[in-house]
Amino acid sequence: MQSLLDIIGATIIGGLLMITMFTSMITIQENNTLLRGEMQVINDLEYISNLIDSYYMDKIGYELPGAMEAFPLAQSNSIWFNTKVDVGDESIYLVKISTGPEETGLGYPLTIEWAGMPTVGPIYLGAPIEIEYYDVNGNVLIDAALVAAPIRANIRSVQIELTVYHGEYGTDTMRSRALVFRKYFPNLAI
């Protein structure tokens, strides 16, 4: 009888250990999936911000003809600027970076366009891109004033906020992160 009780006790303890082990394995897999999603969001943020910051905006104002405006359009969710894009290409291109104001089922579409090249995007963001414009003294230039070309000529830097997500948009599986970065334009005359 004692050996039967020992066997039953060992079975119960072994079963509890197995349940604990399986639960731990499931938790590890869930955490791994979440971490992969977080890493994807971080990689996407890095890629998109580098694309905008280092590739397109690096040469704003560089060797622009005197009569050419650096920023033909400056709004909170859209920026148009004249720039040289590729090293060795002496052409000046009008680059348009914007998000649509309307949310689609996949998020807010970010597009990057420049003359003669295929449109980059849409890249779906978790929120519309937000752009603030600053003058040489670091003062914010308000949207209503940016309609006028003389005020846009005062732009010396921008602050851009991007919100990237991973997972299914608008559900509990969606993970999003925002990145705010500033870009100063040293090529613009002061």
Q: Flag whether 92 is in a domain.
A: yes
pLDDT tens digits, one per residue of 135-152: 888 888 887 778 877 888
The whole domain housing 166 covers: 39-184
pLDDT at 190: 52
User: What are the structure tokens assigned to 28, written together?
Assistant: 């590890």
Q: Flag whether 153 is in a domain.
A: yes
Does residue 187 register a pLDDT over 70?
yes
Q: Flag whether 82 is in a domain.
A: yes
The domain tally of the chain equals 1
Q: Flag whether 63 is in a domain.
A: yes
pLDDT at 181: 87
Q: Flag whether 15 is in a domain.
A: no
Does residue 24 register a pLDDT over 70?
yes
Cβ burial, residue 110 (10 Å; 0-12/13-18/19+): buried
DSSP label of 162: E
Q: Flag whether 29 is in a domain.
A: no
Give me the sheet containing 93-99, strands edge to edge. Answer: 73-75, 78-83, 93-99, 108-114, 120-125
Per-residue confidence band for 114, with pLDDT thresholds at 50, 70 and 90: confident
Q: Flag whether 53 is in a domain.
A: yes
Q: Flag whether 22 is in a domain.
A: no
Model pTM score: 0.73
Instruction: Please state the three-class secondary structure of 6-20 as a single string.
Output: HHHHHHHHHHHHHHH
pLDDT at 125: 87
Q: Give the whole-angstrom CA distance, residue 19 versus residue 15.
A: 6
User: What are the structure tokens assigned to 140, written together?
Assistant: 């914010």
